[in-house]
Amino acid sequence: MDIPEGFPDMPIPEDNQLTEDRVALGKQLFYDMRLSRQSDVSCASCHLQERAFADQNILSIGTQERVGFRNVPSLANIGYHPYLFREGGGISLETQVLGPLEAEDEMDFNMVEAVERLSQFPDYQEQAQTAYGRPFSAFVLSRALAAFQRTLISGNSAFDQDQRGELALSEAAARGLQLFTSEKTNCQNCHDGFDFSNYAFENNGLYEQYNDTGRSRVTFQDSDIGKFKVPSLRNVALTPPYMHDGSLSDLESVIEHYNTGGKAHVNKSSLIRPLGLSDDEKSDLIEFLKSLSDNCFISNPDFAIE
Ligand code: HEC
Ligand code: HEC
């Protein structure tokens, strides 16, 4: 795997070390519609490479056009996330696959039947033997999908090229970066590090009343209402609309949200407060966010199926 400069080593489980065969099998599965009961939806139906493995719907749309309850997140650098899903309810890529597979508004299938169905294909049996030395099974299915997803690394945006001294950011984007890291905005307090996320759970003041209560769905604590995993901002310009429910349609609306300081909520982070940004400062911030788009990532043939 090509780990970009400045990225840490990725934690990979002992029993699922990456090999080319495992990743190839995982890619095959990621694009296979037969993983849904009606064979009408694959992982890639919602996680599109040209959208950095997110999509552009407000809420996800699954089998038979069923509308889900959250906006589809990007899978770029997903192998680094310490927990999965917007409220952190998923513990590993290996176990996460049960989520979409069984959700009625996503693939509406189950592991037993999915394995039964795919086991009938000699290609999958052969690939399972080569990759994991055993017949096609839930073990193979979940591990191969995890292996493929760990290769989805994005670290070659204009921002990265600037950091490596290969290409300078535009002046507007450079000013935006300054603002992003300044105490005037506090953006970097949460969107920090190589992936522009500290992976903490925060309430950024989207609502006074949350229909989707976020982290508290897992912890049952009132103090976690309205808290969501801080999303990575890599490729963010490619993945509108924004937030857990897709309620903000573009980057302009996001910057406006932060500039006003958001809605009042007891759990809102004290870092979210009116910023007093000028129009020029707002557009500089947006130019900086656009510099996080990684064209190599979204056009890398290794992640696509012929
Ligand atoms: C119907 C659309 C849809 C399909 C099909 C789908 N997903 Fe997702 N995926 C989502 C949504 C929506 C979320 C966010 C769910 C949440 O946070 O509760 C998500 C979240 C994830 C996450 C966690 C991302 C994060 O930031 O924590 C991973 C990993 C993932 N999906 C992988 C897959 C895989 C692998 C498949 C195929 C087996 C798949 N998805 C199929 C819509 C979909
Ligand atoms: C207190 C922590 C915190 C601070 C400070 C913060 N954010 Fe966020 N940001 C979040 C959280 C949490 C979300 C996701 C909320 C949700 O899913 O509803 C988010 C979402 C976003 C999104 C949408 C990403 C997506 O894929 O949906 C963008 C863009 C963004 N923030 C940019 C910024 C900018 C620019 C600043 C500074 C002006 C900033 N953030 C300051 C925590 C923070």
Please tell me the predicted confidence (pLDDT) of residue 245: 98
Contacts of 266 (CB under 8 A, 6+ apart): none
Provide the 3-class DSSP secondary structure of residue 90: strand
The series of mean pLDDT values per 10 residues for the chain, 306 residues long, is 91 96 98 97 98 97 95 98 96 94 95 97 98 98 98 98 96 98 97 97 98 97 98 98 98 98 98 98 98 98 93
The domain 15-153 is placed in CATH, from the list 2.30.300.10, 3.40.190.10, 2.30.30.760, 1.10.760.10, at 1.10.760.10
CATH 1.10.760.10 range(s) for the chain read 15-153, 158-295
User: 288 in ligand 2 pocket by Cβ < 6 Å?
Assistant: no
Ligand number nearest to the C-alpha of 43: 1
**How many whole angstroms from 258 Cα to the centroid of ligand 1?**
27
Rounded (5°) CA angle 208-214-218: 140
Please tell me the predicted confidence (pLDDT) of residue 15: 94
**How many whole angstroms from 181 Cα to the centroid of ligand 1?**
30
Which of 91, 102, 90, 97 has its CA nearest to residue 36? 102
**How many whole angstroms from 304 Cα to the centroid of ligand 1?**
18
Would you say 230 and 198 are in contact if contact means Cβ atoms under 8 Å apart?
yes
Please tell me the predicted confidence (pLDDT) of residue 1: 80
Please tell me the predicted confidence (pLDDT) of residue 2: 81
Please tell me the predicted confidence (pLDDT) of residue 306: 80
Ligand number nearest to the C-alpha of 185: 2
Dihedral sign of CA atoms 156, 188, 190, 203 in order: negative
Phi, psi dihedral angles at 229 (to 5 degrees): -60, 130
Per-residue pLDDT reduced to its tens digit, 16-44: 999 999 999 999 999 999 999 999 999 99
User: 53 in ligand 2 pocket by Cβ < 6 Å?
Assistant: no
Please tell me the predicted confidence (pLDDT) of residue 139: 97
If you take atom 35 of ligand 2, which residue's CA is the nearest one?
A: 187
User: 47 in ligand 1 pocket by Cβ < 6 Å?
Assistant: yes
User: 23 in ligand 2 pocket by Cβ < 6 Å?
Assistant: no
**How many whole angstroms from 33 Cα to the centroid of ligand 2?**
33
User: 173 in ligand 2 pocket by Cβ < 6 Å?
Assistant: no
> Please, which residues bridge with residue 202 across strands?
228
Q: Which superfamily does CATH assign the domain made up of 158-295 to?
A: Cytochrome c-like domain (1.10.760.10)
User: 239 in ligand 2 pocket by Cβ < 6 Å?
Assistant: yes
Cα separation, 213 vs 265, in Å, equals 12
